[in-house]
A = this chain, B = another copy of it.
Amino acid sequence: MRTTNELRRCAKDVFGSALKAIEPARLIKENVKLKGQTLEVAGRRYDLREVRDVFLIAAGKASAPMAQALEGILGERLSGGIVVVKYGYGLRIKRARVIEAGHPVPDRRSVAAANAVLKLASDAGKQDLVFCLLSGGGSSLLCGLPEGVTIGDLKSLTRLLLASGADIKEMNTVRKHVSLVNGGRLARALYPARVINLIISDVVGNRLDMIASGPTLPNETTFEDAVEVLSKYNLIKKAPRSICSYLERGVRGIDDGGPGKNDPCFKHSQTHLLGSNVLALEAAEERAEALGLNCIILSSSITGEAREVAAVLVSVAKEVLANGRPVPRPACILAGGETTVTLNGRGMGGRSQEFALAAALGLEGSSHHIVVLSGGTDGTDGPTDADGAVVDTNTCRRARKKFQLDAADYLSRNDSYHFFQKAGGHLFTGPTRTNVMDIMMALIG
Residue A298 CB within 8 A of the other chain: yes
Shortest A122–chain B CB gap in Å is 36
**Alpha-carbon distance between A318 and B278 when the two chains are bound, in angstroms:** 12
A188-215 vs B, CB cutoff 8 Å, 1 = contact: the mask equals 0000000000000000010000000000
**A205 in contact with B318 (CB, 8 Å):** yes
Interface positions of A from 304 to 335, Cβ below 8 Å from B:
304-305, 308-309, 311-312, 315-316, 318-319, 322-323, 325-326
Shortest A438–chain B CB gap in Å is 13
* Complex partner residue of A300 from B297, B299, B303, B322, CB under 8 angstroms: B322
**A315 in contact with B302 (CB, 8 Å):** yes
State the main secondary structure of chain A at its contact with B.
mixed
Shortest A412–chain B CB gap in Å is 12
Residue A388 CB within 8 A of the other chain: no
Interface positions of A from 136 to 168, Cβ below 8 Å from B:
none
**A315 in contact with B297 (CB, 8 Å):** no
Instruction: Across the interface, name the chain B residue whose C-beta is closest to A303.
Output: B311
**Alpha-carbon distance between A205 and B315 when the two chains are bound, in angstroms:** 9
Q: Do A326 and B296 contact each other (CB < 8 Å), given the known contacts A304-B311, A312-B302, A312-B304?
A: yes
**Alpha-carbon distance between A300 and B318 when the two chains are bound, in angstroms:** 9
Interface-central residue, A297, A315, A323, A337, by most chain B CB under 10 Å: A315
Instruction: Across the interface, name the chain B residue whose C-beta is closest to A308.
Output: B308
Residue A429 CB within 8 A of the other chain: no
Residue A301 CB within 8 A of the other chain: yes
Shortest A222–chain B CB gap in Å is 15
**Alpha-carbon distance between A301 and B326 when the two chains are bound, in angstroms:** 13
**Alpha-carbon distance between A303 and B315 when the two chains are bound, in angstroms:** 7
**Alpha-carbon distance between A323 and B300 when the two chains are bound, in angstroms:** 9
Interface residues on A, range: 20 to 34
**Alpha-carbon distance between A52 and B250 when the two chains are bound, in angstroms:** 89
List of B residues within 8 angstroms of A316 by Cβ: 298-299
**B301 in contact with A315 (CB, 8 Å):** yes
**A301 in contact with B318 (CB, 8 Å):** yes
Instruction: Across the interface, name the chain B residue whose C-beta is closest to A318.
Output: B301
Interface positions of A from 284 to 298, Cβ below 8 Å from B:
296-298
Shortest A307–chain B CB gap in Å is 8
Q: Do A318 and B299 contact each other (CB < 8 Å), given the known contacts A309-B312, A312-B312, A323-B278?
A: yes
List of B residues within 8 angstroms of A308 by Cβ: 304-305, 308-309, 312
A263-297 vs B, CB cutoff 8 Å, 1 = contact: the mask equals 00000000000000010000000000000000011
**Alpha-carbon distance between A308 and B298 when the two chains are bound, in angstroms:** 15
Interface positions of A from 22 to 76, Cβ below 8 Å from B:
none
Instruction: Across the interface, name the chain B residue whose C-beta is closest to A232.
Output: B408
List of B residues within 8 angstroms of A300 by Cβ: 319, 322-323
**Alpha-carbon distance between A326 and B295 when the two chains are bound, in angstroms:** 10
**B304 in contact with A205 (CB, 8 Å):** no
Shortest A428–chain B CB gap in Å is 28
* Complex partner residue of A297 from B309, B311, B319, CB under 8 angstroms: B319
Shortest A331–chain B CB gap in Å is 12
**B311 in contact with A325 (CB, 8 Å):** no
**Alpha-carbon distance between A424 and B308 when the two chains are bound, in angstroms:** 29
List of B residues within 8 angstroms of A337 by Cβ: 315
Shortest A196–chain B CB gap in Å is 24
**A298 in contact with B298 (CB, 8 Å):** yes
**Alpha-carbon distance between A312 and B312 when the two chains are bound, in angstroms:** 8
**B323 in contact with A326 (CB, 8 Å):** no
**Alpha-carbon distance between A296 and B301 when the two chains are bound, in angstroms:** 18
**Alpha-carbon distance between A150 and B354 when the two chains are bound, in angstroms:** 44
- Identify 4 new A-B residue pairs, CB closer than 8 A, beyond the known A301-B315, A301-B319, A326-B326: A278-B323, A302-B312, A303-B315, A308-B308
Task: Kindly list the 3 A-B residue pairs having the minimum CB-CB distance in the complex, ordered from nearest.
Answer: A308-B308, A299-B319, A304-B311
21 contacts between A and B (CB under 8 A): A205-B318, A296-B326, A297-B319, A298-B298, A298-B315, A298-B326, A299-B312, A299-B316, A299-B325, A300-B319, A300-B322, A301-B315, A301-B322, A302-B312, A302-B315, A303-B311, A304-B315, A308-B308, A308-B309, A309-B311, A309-B312
